[in-house]
Amino acid sequence: MIQKTATAIAFLTGLGMIFLGARFLLSPEIAETGYGLHFNEQGDYSFHYIKGIRDLFSGLIICLLVLSKQRKALGIILLTGTMIPLMDMFIVLSKDYNDIVQAIPHISAIIICAVTGIIIMLHKPSIKNTRKEQNYIRLLNSYDNDGISIMELNILPGEKTPWHYHTLFSETFEIIKGTLEVGKGKSVVNLKQGEAATIEPNEKHYYHNRSQEECVIKVTVNPGNKNFEKSLFLLKGLAKDGLSSNTGVPKKFIDLAVFVYLSNSRMLGFQKVAEPLFNYIAHSAFKKGYLDDLVNKYYI
């Protein structure tokens, strides 16, 4: 409720600034009196036009940020924008013919910008129905049954992998829902519902959900691989706990190292230099029992 009130006040402030700016452009002498200054323009309203454009622009920015729901940017603009009424107040009070009464509008603007800016900046989005709650995976067929691993999982908008390859198995992506960009060798394909692509062993590949919708895929690994099954469950489990970025990458280096090792992912390009470090971190995690903790928590 406080956030909505602060945002509404910010929007009204923006409208007020648009009004003040327009008044300086259309009725400069009336606007000058309201501002708290008195001087002989002799027909030259250059100051008024400059002031009018400034207020008009500031008001439009505030209103547009409110309408586009750019809360962080809105808070920053309001907080930094307090310097405008602050300097206006000093200018008005510096005149001998003015007292505190003429400065009240500027003081009010300072308070409004500062208080609403702080409230909006302190806003924390509700965690209800966030990305981490949308992650899921299920095992359709385990390696233990007939030597083939089949899993169904979702890939959220923005999730992706870098170019990599596997040495132990082929990997088939079948699209159950949505679309998915898949890099395969020297080509890039955009898979739609019902389409599939098979990545052969040692073939470089990546995937990227560039759409704004969830993509659901069935992944078949042949020959099956128990560690690969564990790696995908770990990846989705970490995401559910908020321990992965919006691109699906584990935030902790040790979690990333364990995933890379379990999934038999081999790096390409300059990233390959880091492989020995990833292997060392992963083996250290195994010895310390960290892998067992992850598997017990996330696998099946």
Residue 286 shares a structural domain with residue 161:
yes
Residue 142 shares a structural domain with residue 189:
yes
276 vs 255: CA distance, rounded Å: 16
Residue 52 domain-assigned? Answer: yes
278 vs 266: CA distance, rounded Å: 11
Q: Give the residue numbers spanning the domain of 100.
A: 2-121
Instruction: Write down the pTM of the prediction.
Output: 0.58
Residue 207 shares a structural domain with residue 244:
yes
Domain count, the chain: 2
Residue 126 domain-assigned? Answer: no
Question: Under DSSP, is residue 91 helix (H, G, I), strand (E, B) or coil?
Answer: helix
**Low-confidence residues of the chain, pLDDT below 50?**
127-129
Residue 69 shares a structural domain with residue 140:
no
**Of 68, 87, 121, which residue sits at a domain end?**
121
Q: In this structure, are residues 58 and 13 in contact, taking their beta carbons and an 8 Å threshold?
A: no
Question: Under DSSP, is residue 76 helix (H, G, I), strand (E, B) or coil?
Answer: helix
**Of 121, 151, 168, which residue sits at a domain end?**
121
Give which of 281, 101, 266 is closest to 168, Cα–Cα: 266
What's the pLDDT at 128?
46
Residue 294 shares a structural domain with residue 174:
yes
What's the pLDDT at 88?
83
Residue 105 domain-assigned? Answer: yes
**Of 100, 121, 142, which residue sits at a domain end?**
121
Residue 172 domain-assigned? Answer: yes
What's the pLDDT at 129?
47
**What single letter denotes the amino acid at residue 178?**
G
Residue 23 shares a structural domain with residue 135:
no
What's the pLDDT at 39?
65
